[in-house]
Amino acid sequence: MPDNPYLLLTPGPLTTSQTVKLAMMKDWCTWDDDYNNLVQNIRQKLVQLATKSPEKYSTVLMQGSGTFSVEAVIGTTIPKDGKLLVLVNGAYGRRIADIANKLAINTTVLDRGEILPPDLDRLDKTLETDQDITHVAVVHCETTTGMLNPIEKISEIIKKHHRIFILDAMSSFGGVEMDIDELQVDYLISSANKCIQGVPGFGFIIAKIREIEKCSKNARSLSLDLYDQWKVMESNNGKWRFTSPTHVVHAFYQALEELEEEGGIKFRAKRYAENQRTLVEGMKKLHFKPLLPEADQSPIITPFYYPDHKDFDFRLFYSKMKDKGFVIYPGKVTHLNTFRIGNIGDVHATDVENLLASIKQSCYWGIGKDQAYLLYK
């Protein structure tokens, strides 16, 4: 296999191991028993990663990007007379609300902007006063800012009011320890190309069995019918309804094996956290200021303010880093000038240290009114 021309420091797709890439170098049949047994193994492994009570949950694999899986959940789990409440503090919470509106689902949004955590008192009062709300959805790690939302407290409120809890854990599952049964999550959504360190091509939903069994007549789409996809997989030993991404599935199985070899989510989470800590400490020494306070920051991706100088050009900065073998990410906060650096994937402390050294080599610093500002060598 050729070496990668650069390291992806993004929230996914991300840098994968050579052995994950090699797993895609064969062709596979979707009807073959060996392949379907592999799918069943993946489904079982994902549930076991998610909870110590695997008998309560089942996994559904869904073709497409992570957003396809989000839409499958929103479009299938909410009945025609149901109502969705979405907690929004970034672009991906807004995307859930956009999906619901496109599907003509009755929806209420509690929007906190982009740099504040959800308002828990408002959530509590809304669920108390609006008895039509049946489901609540929230993004765990909002990669707009890298914020890790307080799902333990959110869950307590949702379940106090006996509502269904939908958790978009796209960028956190596999990289942040959790037990979805203890959290009383009814549907968890994630994707192959995030913290499990596979490649793009499908998402997955880990669903509480007693809840998904109620969804047979809800779907607003044929291809994104979560219930039918689950029922076929359950009844036909892992068979997908439509053509599955066979190469990507094999790569994902290899990625799951490598997660186990690393020691599981606990040890991967530790590596990601160490990457993020090294990054922030080093960037502060280089006069870059993180967007979020430490208490709100996830180990997944970290935004930094642009340096305080009118001549700072992110595209030029991006190009210089890419030339040195690192791809970083533009910012997504609407009204603030930021860029983002991810810590997930096959990325280790030495990679972060090399990035910091490359930034230092590429820049020098003048003194502005409030902070040092970046110029280029």
Closest Cα to residue 319, out of 3, 12, 6?
A: 6
Residue 13 lies in a domain: no
Kindly state whether residues 225 and 277 are assigned to the same domain: no
- Residue at 4 is within a domain: no
Query: Are 36 and 147 in the same domain?
Result: yes
Distance CA 186, CA 141 (A): 17
Alpha carbon 268 to chain centroid distance?
Answer: 15
Tell whether 85 and 181 lie within a shared domain: yes
Same domain for 351 and 230: no
Range of the domain at 242: 18-262
Q: Identify the CA nearest to 301 among candidates 200, 176, 181, 189.
A: 176
Residues 172 and 242 grouped into a single domain: yes
Q: Are residues 236 and 325 in the same domain?
A: no
Same domain, 60 and 179: yes
Q: What is the pLDDT of residue 366?
A: 56
pLDDT of 307 reads: 83
Which residues does the chain have with pLDDT short of 70?
1, 309-310, 364-377
pLDDT of residue 95: 98
Secondary structure percentages of the chain, helix, strand, coil, to 5: 40, 20, 40
| Burial (Cβ within 10 Å: 0-12, 13-18, ≥19) of residue 87 | buried
Do 134 and 171 have their domain in common? Answer: yes
Question: Does 2 reside within a domain?
Answer: no
Q: Is residue 8 part of a domain?
A: no
**310 within some domain:** yes
- Which element (helix H / strand E) includes 113? none
Tell me the C-alpha distance between 251 and 200, whole Å: 10
Give the whole-angstrom CA distance, residue 159 versus residue 162.
5
293 and 253: one domain?
A: no
> Omega before 200 cis (within 30°)?
no
Q: CATH number of the domain that 51 lies in?
A: 3.40.640.10
Residues 238 and 339: their CA atoms lie apart, in Å, by 41
CA gap 233, 364 in Å, rounded: 57
Give the DSSP H or E segment for 39: helix 33-50
What gap in Å lies between CA 61 and CA 229, rounded to an integer? 8
Radius of gyration of the chain (CA): 21
Looking at the structure, tell me whether residues 144 and 271 fall in a common domain: no
C-alpha dihedral (245, 70, 182, 140), degrees to nearest 10: 110
Residue 108 lies inside a defined structural domain of this protein = yes
Residue 343's domain is classified under what CATH number? 3.90.1150.10
How far apart (Å, rounded) are the C-alpha atoms in residues 204 and 217? 21
Residue 12: inside a domain, yes or no? no
Q: How many domains does the chain have?
A: 2
Kindly state whether residues 249 and 360 are assigned to the same domain. no
- Residue 200 within a domain: yes
Res 369: pLDDT: 47
Q: Which domain-ending residue is among 240, 262, 284?
A: 262
Residues 308 and 357 in one domain: yes
What is the per-residue pLDDT for 77? 98
End residue of a domain, out of 262, 277, 295: 262
Q: Examine the fold and report which residue of 210, 240, 262 is the final residue of a domain before the chain moves on.
A: 262
Q: What is the pLDDT of residue 287?
A: 84
